[in-house]
Structure 1
């Protein structure tokens, strides 16, 4: 039995979310504030026995997309798959009512207005009341008018807005259903005899901000929870007697007796025997077994420092985290040994201070028998180690979180190819707000430098992840971005490889360079046709092409000076420098473009890009196709980003013009630049319109 689906409606930052899960290990990934902790809490509200039975839900728990929370429901539904024939499982099973062999069941939480409130809303509907009557009544509803109920076998799909209107109400037209019609076949039934806590166990390992504190705190220390589990089995008679004797022995020491007498005498001499209290000094080792066990503490040592053990505060942050996780896993193991239908292990951000290698193996080495594990993470190492069919991606979108499943609609063979490719570097694409896929190292190195130097803002700052494919095979990764999968923009930057040698009868087709140019052009055309055909109907993916190659197109974009500087850096012999400079300056593009390619291949494209990066400045021009690719991915580009870019451009232009006496430049232009620069620094957003 495992959780196959989690649906959340109107709870915190989830307006209308659906998660899908598989058996084994599942992963929730997303940026800070995307809702990973809220998703965990939603699951725990239904399954975790350690939460208070009377869960307190307030108006602040309603999703902020609602115009008003009053009258709306918070709905959390868990769907289970592979139910057993156990009586407890059958209480959840849909097959009882469907009379089939379905192995699916469900459990739901509804936080809704009381029946009295819902009945009044229905009566207003029946009376065709005016809109203001509905609104006046809704405005009077308080959180105390709400009830919390749990039901088994709920089947209504509240992710469907029409279903929500049918069973909760239509707030646009003020139409509300009759609460006397309980619709148990869809909403489920309330069972007062059934307790989900008796059937499943749920262990939660929270995100560790201070593992050392958690390990020392009696309430949160997992060691104490483990001790409690077996403390009732201990016959402490002999130990308690020994403790009493020890307390007595300590109190009977001659030094203690002498000190006791001195304290008494001093007290009597100070206030007299009439008012002096009776004084004694005793050892207070607990003479209760439970309290005695609470004095147990963990001592730790280093595997390379044999024979030494110290207290927890001597551990590194990573060591303390690993110790805490290990104790929680042991706690889970003990729960697992009980005869429960299923075990659920929720682990929040386990990667803090843990070495990359341990992150990768954390879920491979551990045997989670009859257990479903759900992990939330920021770690690319953990996300890369998981199957994409077991990943849910959370994304912030204004006042709500969107949830994507990257494997929806993909064949298993495609998923396997993608999983092989998603190493810890490329898996960053799962976290980004948008993605640009590039052919190789040159683009990976230079595009971020170009953007930062020219606009004063990095691609990382605007949430764009640049992914090096090390090839021209983009299809398998790009298909992750789709209306049914990850709804984020993905730009493909690649070369059209148009030949720099013009076709002519005089061309020697036996010449290796000429032949290579024509073959590359043919391949480029085929690649363009394939990409455009593959993603023609996909609004989330678009391809952008260099006319020739990245290096040649960068040279073509009026960047001769930068390439000339590279030549002076590469060569030391003047003859080689002059020869290369002459070719780059040649007006015959066949000669100059060929020299660009030769230089890139001479150093290696990666090293050439690193060298060229040192000569990029605010005057360098970005090829148009790259600008278009970045613009395609910049739907989330806001006024603050725009202000940074505009301020940077104005600042650099002002510095350049103000420091150089440019002939014919009107001083009023410089003054106008200064005023514009100052107004941007004062955060006057109206000035941004100048650039838009």
Structure 2
């Protein structure tokens, strides 16, 4: 059961959006208050554990305008509904819809045309209910105490117990029942209740009988314990971190277990709000790998995240970015595999950490190498002494080549993230220079053509191209084919040098060019206020940037 499309109108921060879903992983990103949770709430209302009611919607109008709230969820697969006579009703385009206005709620099941059916109380809705794991991580919420919990759905809808096991279990229960019925004292007690009740209501047909456990009742008694000082403590009494770890272990086990019934996988979509809660970086990456395994086994997964560990540059089509567009409210854009870098070899020189972090930025600067990055950081630091570039919710991505700058630009642009490119035009890179570097004439022609093509494409982007290269811009000396260490030395020497009038002019020139493309040059307080797990996003960004600097340096030194 996979969701194909989600349509929502006039609900919370959402005026009108449509979301095309992936059959595997769907990662929702964006600042707080951009409508990610509103989408989850809408889906949970229609296909969650409980049926929607009018009370659910009373305070959820968009901008309090009291226009009709509409939530539609369309599924990919056709649904075959068998009636009591055994006839099949094939629903090729299954759409669940809930609409609310003026205190009146209507819920229906549509076949994709004008024909619709009421879904409350119908058998059709139940197989399509989602597995929802909210930010309140508790063991109790996923245990099989009911058939709609994460574990309950798997246990009750799968061939977990064979017919032979069920038969043997029933025999054991009947044997236990016969033992209990041998108690004369208990039998006398029950008989007395029956007689007194029969006399009071004038009904002589009152009987009592043991209803022994079947496998369903048996599963409801499942509990997990941890031993402390020789005592058993139920996991539901443990702290949030332990309970969240249990949920993680459950998801990992589900990814490794085949829950097929009649040859068909029974997994329903899983929705998780901030899976990174209570997890350290390595555990986050491990959980993301678990999501990928679940996805590969046929489970559709949706999650809201503020952590780069749950994103992948290789699978940018998984990403849905949410943002607020003035009076239009929540809007969303989706990445595409064609926008990303599909070859790992193309990424070998790049800083993957900052690449994934950039999905959460308002503005992304794409640069050719490490020297461009430290130069750009210095420019911002000199104009904003008490702030870092991250304070403006800006990310720098070291692309390692002009080719990758273009690819990265296409990817971020598709997600409606503002991009700025900084590159070298290498305008007067001469034949002599190239011959001196060991190139043949054919190499020279090919590389000059590639340079011209890249420069043509880069001119279409918002950005700044150094006429020759960064080193020439800083020193006025025309140099080509320098080793990376020499490039860093030139740039670092210029940065560490005295602040002359000429140097200030260059700082102002680049800063003015750069800030033309930044929508709102203010310190983004969300980096300090939006806390994720036990550390703030600001701390995580700083930590990741420190690590990314080291990775970037090592990668460039090896080339």
Q: Does 1:544 align with 2:464?
A: yes
Q: Does 1:198 align with 2:122?
A: no
Task: Give the distance between the partners of 1:406 and 1:469, measured in 2 at CA.
Answer: 19
Residue equivalent to 2:424: 495
The answer to whether the Cα contact below 8 Å between 1:150 and 1:190 also exists between their aligned partners in 2 is yes
Q: CA deviation at 1:2?
A: 1.5
Task: Give the distance between the partners of 2:485 and 2:231, measured in 1 at CA.
Answer: 54
Task: Give the distance between the partners of 2:287 and 2:509, measured in 1 at CA.
Answer: 39
Task: Give the distance between the partners of 2:70 and 2:243, measured in 1 at CA.
Answer: 37
Residue equivalent to 1:375: 303
Task: Give the distance between the partners of 1:308 and 1:39, measured in 2 at CA.
Answer: 43
Q: CA deviation at 1:201?
A: 3.5
Task: Give the distance between the partners of 2:363 and 2:306, measured in 1 at CA.
Answer: 16
Q: CA deviation at 1:469?
A: 0.2
Aligned pair in 2 of structure 1 residues 91, 435: CA closer, same or farther (>3 Å)?
farther
The answer to whether the Cα contact below 8 Å between 2:392 and 2:524 also exists between their aligned partners in 1 is no
Q: Does 1:324 align with 2:247?
A: yes
Q: CA deviation at 1:468?
A: 0.5
Task: Give the distance between the partners of 1:148 and 1:367, measured in 2 at CA.
Answer: 34
Q: Helix, strand or coil: the match of 1:448? A: helix
Q: CA deviation at 1:27?
A: 1.7
Residue equivalent to 1:451: 380
Task: Give the distance between the partners of 2:237 and 2:425, measured in 1 at CA.
Answer: 59
Q: Helix, strand or coil: the match of 2:10? A: strand
Residue equivalent to 1:42: 42
Q: CA deviation at 1:493?
A: 1.0
Q: Does 1:461 align with 2:391?
A: yes
Task: Give the distance between the partners of 1:75 and 1:191, measured in 2 at CA.
Answer: 15
Superposed counterparts of 1:242-391, under 5 Å = 296-299=223-226, 320-327=243-250, 343-352=268-277, 353-356=279-282, 357-366=285-294, 369-384=297-312, 387-391=315-319
Residue equivalent to 2:105: 148
Q: CA deviation at 1:542?
A: 2.0
Render the CA deviation track for 1:465-522: whole Å, top value 9, x for unaligned: 211101111222212244xx32232111101123499x9xxxx889838999xx9999
Render the CA deviation track for 1:56-100: whole Å, top value 9, x for unaligned: 334541222xxx513x1111111211324444998783xxxxxxx
Q: CA deviation at 1:7?
A: 1.3
Q: Does 1:21 align with 2:21?
A: yes
1:76 aligned to which of 67, 71, 74: 71
Q: CA deviation at 1:602?
A: 7.7
Q: CA deviation at 1:310?
A: 8.1
Superposed counterparts of 1:501-650, under 5 Å = 512=436, 527=451, 530-533=454-457, 536=460, 541-555=461-475, 589=476, 592=477, 594=479, 601=483, 603-606=485-488, 609=491, 613-614=495-496, 621=504, 622-623=506-507, 626-637=510-521
TM-score by length of 2: 0.65
Task: Give the distance between the partners of 2:496 and 2:287, measured in 1 at CA.
Answer: 36
Question: After the TM superposition, which of the residue ranges 22-31 and 2-11 deviates more from structure 2?
Answer: 22-31
Q: CA deviation at 1:601?
A: 4.1
Task: Give the distance between the partners of 1:300 and 1:393, measured in 2 at CA.
Answer: 44
Aligned pair in 2 of structure 1 residues 197, 640: CA closer, same or farther (>3 Å)?
closer
Q: CA deviation at 1:105?
A: 2.6
Residue equivalent to 1:476: 407
Question: After the TM superposition, which of the residue ranges 544-553 and 601-610 deviates more from structure 2?
Answer: 601-610
Residue equivalent to 1:110: 99
Residue equivalent to 1:30: 30
Aligned pair in 2 of structure 1 residues 445, 424: CA closer, same or farther (>3 Å)?
same
Residue equivalent to 2:5: 5
Q: Does 1:222 align with 2:143?
A: yes
Render the CA deviation track for 1:361-415: whole Å, top value 9, x for unaligned: 222344764431112222212211762223211123446222001218x48xx66
The answer to whether the Cα contact below 8 Å between 2:46 and 2:98 also exists between their aligned partners in 1 is yes
Task: Give the distance between the partners of 2:121 and 2:233, measured in 1 at CA.
Answer: 50
Residue equivalent to 2:199: none
Residue equivalent to 1:578: none
Aligned pair in 2 of structure 1 residues 311, 610: CA closer, same or farther (>3 Å)?
farther
Q: Helix, strand or coil: the match of 2:473? A: helix
Task: Give the distance between the partners of 1:605 and 1:318, measured in 2 at CA.
Answer: 47
Q: Helix, strand or coil: the match of 2:462? A: strand
Render the CA deviation track for 1:240-261: whole Å, top value 9, x for unaligned: x99xxxxxxxxxxxxxxxxxxx
The answer to whether the Cα contact below 8 Å between 1:496 and 1:546 also exists between their aligned partners in 2 is yes
Task: Give the distance between the partners of 1:153 and 1:365, measured in 2 at CA.
Answer: 32
The answer to whether the Cα contact below 8 Å between 1:464 and 1:633 also exists between their aligned partners in 2 is no
Residue equivalent to 1:54: 53
Q: Helix, strand or coil: the match of 2:426? A: coil
Residue equivalent to 2:198: none
Q: CA deviation at 1:432?
A: 1.4
Q: CA deviation at 1:603?
A: 3.4
Gaps of 5+ in 1: 94-102, 113-144, 156-184, 243-287, 302-306, 556-588, 642-692
Question: After the TM superposition, which of the residue ranges 185-194 and 421-430 deviates more from structure 2?
Answer: 185-194
Aligned pair in 2 of structure 1 residues 299, 497: CA closer, same or farther (>3 Å)?
same
Question: After the TM superposition, which of the residue ranges 620-629 and 14-23 deviates more from structure 2?
Answer: 620-629
Task: Give the distance between the partners of 2:314 and 2:406, measured in 1 at CA.
Answer: 21
Q: CA deviation at 1:238?
A: 6.7
Residue equivalent to 1:431: 360
The answer to whether the Cα contact below 8 Å between 1:435 and 1:491 also exists between their aligned partners in 2 is yes
Task: Give the distance between the partners of 2:174 and 2:313, measured in 1 at CA.
Answer: 47
Gaps of 5+ in 2: 157-168, 181-211, 526-559
Task: Give the distance between the partners of 1:510 and 1:28, measured in 2 at CA.
Answer: 47
Task: Give the distance between the partners of 2:300 and 2:316, measured in 1 at CA.
Answer: 16
Q: What is the aligned length?
A: 456
Render the CA deviation track for 1:612-640: whole Å, top value 9, x for unaligned: 55558798534566335522431133599
Aligned pair in 2 of structure 1 residues 46, 314: CA closer, same or farther (>3 Å)?
closer
Task: Give the distance between the partners of 2:492 and 2:231, measured in 1 at CA.
Answer: 49
Task: Give the distance between the partners of 1:478 and 1:509, measured in 2 at CA.
Answer: 30
Aligned pair in 2 of structure 1 residues 359, 21: CA closer, same or farther (>3 Å)?
same
The answer to whether the Cα contact below 8 Å between 2:132 and 2:270 also exists between their aligned partners in 1 is yes
Task: Give the distance between the partners of 1:640 and 1:364, measured in 2 at CA.
Answer: 32
CA RMSD of aligned residues (A): 5.0
Task: Give the distance between the partners of 1:333 and 1:75, measured in 2 at CA.
Answer: 38
Task: Give the distance between the partners of 2:508 and 2:90, measured in 1 at CA.
Answer: 59
Aligned pair in 2 of structure 1 residues 318, 358: CA closer, same or farther (>3 Å)?
farther
